Amino acid sequence: MNKHILKYRGWLLILLIGCYFLVFRAQAMAWGPEWLRFHLADFLFIPTLLLSTVAVGDLLGRSIRITDRRIAVAVIYSAVVFEWILPSSGMAFEGDIVDVCCYILGGIVFRYLYRIMYIGAEMEPRKTQTQDRIKINPI
């Protein structure tokens, strides 16, 4: 795989995590408009979660391929847990349909980022083992 692409993905992950923590800091300090503070975190959650999953797989030497089905499962799971189960259990969460829409939009954005960075990088021609070997013509 192209080392430039891997470096780019690493910086994107750091940027997403930094933005995610900045949004939480803004929530704690009550900076900016309320809709931006609360819904931006939900929008960034799915891309950060899935990109972190792929990055950990890369670090462990495993190739984790995120399919559309896995993105949908992450969105549904997050929506059910954070917008239905936790609010109904009396925790400090509030169920909101706008948050579910933010999870969906985050999943769509991740899908396009993933296709550009991961699947696009896999489409590059690679040398096979037979191309690396010296070809000897029989006499």
pLDDT at position 139 over 80: no
Half-sphere exposure of 119 (CA within 13 A, CB side): 11
Q: Are 47 and 106 in contact (CB under 8 A)?
A: yes
The end-to-end CA distance of the chain, in Å, is 37
The per-residue pLDDT for range 23-53, each reduced to its tens digit, is 778 777 877 777 777 788 889 889 888 988 8
Average pLDDT over residues 48-74: 87
Could you tell me how far CA 1 lies from the centroid of its own chain? Answer: 19
Average pLDDT over residues 58-63: 80
Q: Which of 77-81, 118-122, 134-138 has the lowest mean pLDDT?
A: 134-138
Quote the CA–CA distance of 42 and 46 in Å, as a whole number: 8
Q: Are 100 and 83 in contact (CB under 8 A)?
A: yes
Number of C-beta neighbours around residue 116 at 10 A: 12
Angle between helices 3-29 and 34-59 (to 10 degrees): 150
For the record, the structure tokens of 18 come out as 């930094």
Host H or E run for residue 103:
helix 97-114
pLDDT at 78: 94
Average pLDDT over residues 122-129: 48
pLDDT at position 88 over 80: yes
Q: Are 78 and 104 in contact (CB under 8 A)?
A: no
Residue 124 banded pLDDT, cuts 50, 70, 90: very low
Residue 79 banded pLDDT, cuts 50, 70, 90: very high
pLDDT at 107: 95
List the one residue out of 130, 85, 126 whose CA is nearest residue 2.
Answer: 126
Number of C-beta neighbours around residue 75 at 10 A: 22
For a pLDDT cut of 70, what percent of the chain falls above it? Answer: 76
Q: Are 87 and 95 in contact (CB under 8 A)?
A: yes
pLDDT at 60: 82
